[in-house]
Amino acid sequence: MDMNRKEQIRWGAIWLTVAVVAVAAGLLIRARRQAALTTDPRTGELGGAFRLDVSALNRIDPGLVIGAEKEPIPALVESPHALALDAAGRLIVGGENEIAVIETNGVVRTRLPMPFAVRCVAADEDGTLYAGHVDHVGIYRTNGVPAVQWPSLGTNTVLTSIAVAGDNVWVADAGQRRVWRLDKQGRVLSRIGDKDDGKGGFIIPSPHFDLALGSVDELWVVDPGRHMVISFGRDGARRSAWGRGGADPEGFSGCCNPTDIAIRTDGSFVTSEKGLVRVKLYTPAGALMGVVAGPDKFDAEVRGLDLVVDGQGRILVLDPVRVQVRVFEVNVQTNK
């Protein structure tokens, strides 16, 4: 190839590069101008014209509000995440590095240091505490008996809820999307939710997967991805289900709600949601009775409100942002 031809090719490549750079620069300038028009200069977030306004969803019809908030109880642990009641009606609050046993007047009865963060907790009738850590269950007693750590349930395990009934310990595992039934020595007895059981398993898009004990031999499990609450027998057989998605008061909003449930002695259900933060009460058949607390009662960033119902029928809500156990009374009666 002669020198003139080589020179032409070289300059052609140079001009092509310049042209590409110029186009890219133009696109960048255009994007920045567009961003200046559509974003908030203080935060860099999309401007109001491009944000979805959900303020209307935060407003609850006053006629639906059935909860009255009372004086909260300090949670008294770092990063509180787990809430339960013992047989004496004392609060069991689990956090990042300890469990606190708290009287309902706020006085701490016991503090137990934890070797692992507590993700969920339950109390047996004899006072034994069962704590769900990330991948296993720990057994703790307040009388000085050494703690016992059960074996890991697997590398993908993320324990999020635990309940004790008779000789059974039920554990919800959001990581493996199943419920484990264990005996009180930590041996696996059965599982619920395996996809190869022909029932499709649970849909768990985020680490919020709760369960609660109902009547004899009845276990209620939240399927948050389907916006449903499902009951199972001890044998793992599905019995019934209720719930639907929706931002309206009766539905469960977002990708994966409710996050938590509790069951009152009359069989009615208390539920909590993240995103559009609400605590609600449903009949045993799943019909909305009312809103215990709407979004205006909570900080927008709260994620996961663990729930229990005390012996007076009050709804106790663990608020991890305010580091409190919020106390709500309800003024309705359940018609089964």
**Stretch 89-115: mean pLDDT, rounded?**
95
Examine the domain organization and report whether 195 and 162 are in the same domain. yes
The β-bridge relationship of strands 168-173 and 67-74 is: unpaired
pLDDT category at 41 given cuts 50, 70, 90 is very low
Burial of 129 (0-12, 13-18, 19+ CB in 10 A): buried
Residues 152 and 43 both lie in one domain: no
Q: Taking 60 as the threshold, does the pLDDT of residue 77 lie above it?
A: yes
Question: Which residues, 6 or more positions from 320, have their beta carbon under 8 angstroms from its beta carbon?
Answer: 75, 79, 80, 81, 302, 303, 304
Looking at the fold, whether 92 and 201 belong to one and the same domain comes out as yes
The answer as to whether 256 is a domain residue is: yes
Query: Same structural domain for residues 34 and 164?
Result: no
* 56 lies in some domain: no
Q: Does residue 335 belong to any structural domain of this protein?
A: no
**What does DSSP assign to residue 133?**
-
**One domain, residues 38 and 135:** no
Question: Same structural domain for residues 151 and 45?
Answer: no
Q: What is the mean pLDDT of the chain?
A: 86
Contact 286/324 with Cβ under 8 angstroms?
no
Residue 130 is predicted with a pLDDT of 98
**Do residues 135 and 152 lie in contact, with contact meaning Cβ atoms separated by under 8 Å?**
yes
Type of residue numbered 54: V
Please indicate, yes or no, if residue 185 is contained in any of the structural domains.
yes
Place of tokens 């389907």: 226
Residue 42 in domain: yes
Average pLDDT (248-274) is 96
Pick the last residue of a domain from 50, 69, 89: 50
Q: Are residues 128 and 24 in the same domain?
A: no
pLDDT of residue 174: 97
Q: Flag whether 336 is in a domain.
A: no
Same domain, 261 and 157: yes
Q: Select from 266, 293, 271, 283 the least CA-distant residue to 221.
A: 271
Rounded Cα–Cα distance for residues 71 and 69 (Å): 7
Number of domains in the chain: 2
Whether residues 74 and 33 fall in one domain:
no
Specify whether 41 is located in the same domain as 189. Answer: no
Is pLDDT above 90 for 310? yes
The better pLDDT of the pair 321, 26 is held by 321
Q: Is residue 267 part of a domain?
A: yes
**Residue 24 pLDDT exceeds 50:** no
Distance CA 118, CA 36 (A): 45
Residue 67 CB contacts under 8 Å (≥ 6 apart), including other chains: 279, 290, 291, 292, 293, 315, 328, 329, 330
CA distance 244 to 108: 40
d(CA 141, CA 157): 24
Residues 9 and 125 in one domain: no
Burial of 164: CB neighbours in 10 Å, binned 0-12, 13-18, 19+:
buried
Q: Shortest CA distance to 87 belongs to which of 122, 46, 36, 132? A: 122
- pLDDT tens figures, 179-233: 999 999 999 999 999 876 656 799 999 999 999 999 877 999 999 999 999 999 9
Q: What is the pTM of this model?
A: 0.81
CA separation for the pair 148, 25 (Å, rounded):
63
Q: Are residues 46 and 67 in the same domain?
A: no
Q: Supply the range of the domain harboring residue 43.
A: 3-50
Nearest to residue 232, comparing CAs of 248, 247, 217, 251?
A: 217
- Assess if residue 55 is contained within a domain: no
CATH of the domain at 88: 2.120.10.30
Cβ pair 132, 161 in contact under 8 A:
yes
- Average pLDDT score over residue span 254-273: 96
Taking alpha carbons only, the member of 95, 182, 185, 109 closest to residue 143 is: 109
Beta-carbon count within 10 A of 308 CB: 20
